[in-house]
Each structure stands twice: as structure tokens, then as C-alpha cells.
Amino acid sequence: MATTTHAPPARPPATTTDRRRRIAARPAAWVVWGVVIFFFLNLLGVVASVLVSSFGRRWFDTWLPDGYTTSWYARAWDEFALLQVIVVTLEVSVLVVGLSLVIGVPAAYALARRSFPGKRLIFLVFLLPILMPPITYGIPLATVLYKFGLAGHMSGVVLANLVPSVPFVILTMTPFIEQIDPRIESAARMCGAGLRTVFLRVLTPLLVPGILASAILVLVRTVGMFELTFLTAGPDSQTLVVALYYSMSASGIRAQQSVDAMAVIYTSMMLVLLVVALRYVNPTQLVAQVKDEPEH
């Protein structure tokens, strides 16, 4: 969920004062590290139990399954029509990323560069979809989309996912645009370039890192977005996370392990995205972009 911090650069290396504090506060340090390790152990347990279970032949009241197999994956693949689900997931994500960039980047530009009456109000309107829980606006949104016959298939899923994505692009792009000297654009115009040329020949190349970062962020969020997709998807427009939810809530019908297998597929997809994402953005950016100057 939401909202930005341009993660500030790391602090300079520890100084003598820091070192002294560390020694003085030894027991506190142990407690802190203990909590962190405990948290990670549990996290590991959560992820590993899904992973182990998905490869286990049978796993009842024991520490580990009594045998290993990969057959659950094949089963999950067929039972849940995973190929189609993954294709849908990719299609939705690519469309959402593309559209939100096309809509969001120009708006981010106008907001970063200009001041005009009502700017704060407009900023607030763009901020709202990020601040509100998806379920709150998702239900009226889904109702409207159904009314116009847009929900229940892919267009509804894409439209609904755009609602938080466009503001997200605006928020991530604004600092990137702000750090480009506006004089560079002025210089291009003085050289005879029109607005369109300035955008295509000067701004776009300079904004590539920002565009990549916000594209990857939107991608991760769209693949992981449950609520909005859940409310607007029809039977053939489910993304992986929604399909996973359905298979879980229908557990009992299907073997636990094949649900786990599906969860592992989802996890590995997310991890691949994560590895890619971390090449372009830092971890903090991935979760939150809190930009808390202008609108307060």
C-alpha cells in the first residue's frame, strides 16, 4: 500500500559517539536483535512450510512429510488452469503499467513543474485513492463497472487496478521530475524545440530511471493486488492471487498440497519480480513513498 518516501541516502559511517552508545546499551541491543531474529524465524517458517508442503507426498502430524514429489505442481497446473491464470495476470499487469504511465507521467510533470490555483486540491484528489483502503472504494467502483458492463472481464480488472496505480505513478514520478533542472527544458525550447519535442527528445531520456522505477513498482503492486481484482474479476479474468484465494477458500475439495504448490508458483513469480525490482529501486521505495511536504 502506499505512499512515498524518497528514501533518503544512508547516513555516513558510524562515528565514535555511535560506538560508545552501542557498548553502553548492550542488553537493549540483544533484545532488539532477538526480536528481529524471532520475527525472521517465524517468517521463514511461514514461507518454508508452504514450500515443504508443496513437495510433500503426505504430511500429517509429523515434523516433515514422509516423502517428496513434484506431482502436486502438475496437478495444480491442470486443476487451476494456471497457464491461463498466469497469462491473464501478465496481460493485466502490462496493460495497467502501460496505461498508468501514459496517464500519470504527464500529470506528474504538470504537478511537479507548475503552480496554479487549485493545485493542492488536485494533489489531494490524486492522493485519496492511495490513502483509502481498496475495499472502501472497490465496492462502489465494482458496482459502477458492473452497471456499465465493464466488470466481470479483463477491462474491468484493468480499470479497477488503474485507480491506485495512476496516483502511484504520479507520486513516484514527481520527485524524479523535480530533480531535473527546468532550465534544461527552457534551453531546448530556446533551441527551437516545441513542447512535444522537448518531451520526447529531452525529458523522456532523462526520465528513464524514474519511469523504470515506477513501472516496476506498479507491476509488483498489480500482481499482488487482491481486493480490487477480486471485486471486478470474472471467471476468466482472475489473476494468480485471486485464483489462489478461491482455491484456498474452497480447500477441502482440493488437496492442501496442490494449493500450496500454487502458492509456491505465486511466490516465485513475486520473488522474480522482486529481484528485478530491486535492481532499480530500493526496498523502502517498494512499500511506501511518503512525500510529506506539500499537502499538509
Partner 1 sequence: MSAFSQLRLDGVSRRFGGQAALTELDLTIEAGEFIALLGPSGCGKSTALNCLAGLLPLTAGSIWQDERRIDTLPPERRGFGMVFQSYALFPHLTVRANIAFGLRMRRLPKEETRRRTEEAVRLVRLEDHVDKLPGQLSGGQQQRVAIARAVVFEPSLVLMDEPLSNLDAKLRLEMRTEIRRLHQSLGLTTVYVTHDQEEALSLADRLVVLREGRVQQIGSPRELHTRPANWHVADFMGYRNLWRGQVEQVDGARATVESSGHRLLGEVVGSLQTRADAVVAVRPEDIRVDGPGETRNAMSATVEVVEYQGRELAAEARTDTGLVLHLRTEQRIAAGDQVKLAVDPQRLLVYPADASAATDRQPDASGAAR
Partner 2 sequence: MSGAGPGRPLAHWRHRLAERGVDRQLWLLVPALVFVIALFLYPFFYGLTLSFQPTRGGPFSDYARFFSDSYERGTIWITLRIALPAALLNVLAAVPIAYRMRGRFRGKRLVTTLLVVPITLGTVLTAQGLLNFLGPTGWFNRILLASNLVDEPVRLTHNYWGVFFSLVITGFPFAFLLVLSYLSGIDPTLERAAATLGADWRRRFTRITLPLLMPGLATTFCLTFVLAFSVFPSAVLVGNPAGETRVISLAAYQAAYEQYDYPYASAIAMIMGFVELVIIAVVLAARSRFYTGSTGGKG
Query: For residues 247-266, which are near partner 2 according to CB under 8 A?
Result: 248-249, 259-260, 263, 266
Least Å from the CB of residue 283 to partner 2: 4
> What sign for the dihedral angle of Cα 251, 43, 278, 111?
positive
**Cβ contacts of 86 within 8 Å, gap of 6 or more:** 240, 265, 269
CB of 280 to partner 1, least distance (A): 18
Q: Which is nearer to partner 1, 208 or 271 (CB)?
A: 208
212 binds, among partner 2, partner 1, none (CB under 5 to 8 A by kind): none
- Would you state the cell numbers that stand for residue 241, as one nine-digit string? 492471487
Which of partner 1, partner 2, none does residue 74 bind to, with CB < 5 to 8 Å depending on kind? none
149 torsion bin: left (phi>0), alpha (psi -120 to 50), beta (else): left
Q: What letter does residue 13 receive in the DSSP assignment? A: P
Residue 235 interacts with partner 2 (CB under 8 A): yes or no: no
- Of 87, 125, 208, 250, the one binding partner 2 by CB under 8 A: 125
Contacts of partner 1 in 165-194 (CB under 8 A): 181, 183-184, 186-194
- Cell digits of residue 79: 486443476
**Burial classification of residue 112, based on how many CB atoms lie within 10 Å of its CB (0-12 exposed, 13-18 middle, 19 or more buried):** middle
Report in angstroms the alpha-carbon separations of 283 from 5, 213, 275, 277: 11, 12, 10, 9
Q: How far is the CB of 87 from partner 2 (least distance, A)?
A: 20
Partner touching 181 among partner 1, partner 2, none, CB below 5 to 8 Å by kind: partner 1
Which positions from 204 to 243 touch partner 1 by CB under 8 A, shown as an x/- string?
Answer: -xx-------------------------------------
Question: Could you say whether residue 132 binds partner 2 (CB under 8 A)?
Answer: yes
**Does residue 87 bind partner 2 (CB under 8 A)?**
no
Q: Residue 277 burial (CB < 10 Å; 0-12/13-18/19+)?
A: buried
Distance between the two ends of the chain, CA-based, in angstroms? 20
- The three three-digit cell numbers of residue 54, written as one number: 508443496
Residue whose CB is less far from partner 2, 50 or 97 = 50
> Which spans of this chain sit near partner 1 (rule: CB under 8 A)?
181, 183-184, 186-195, 197, 202, 205-206
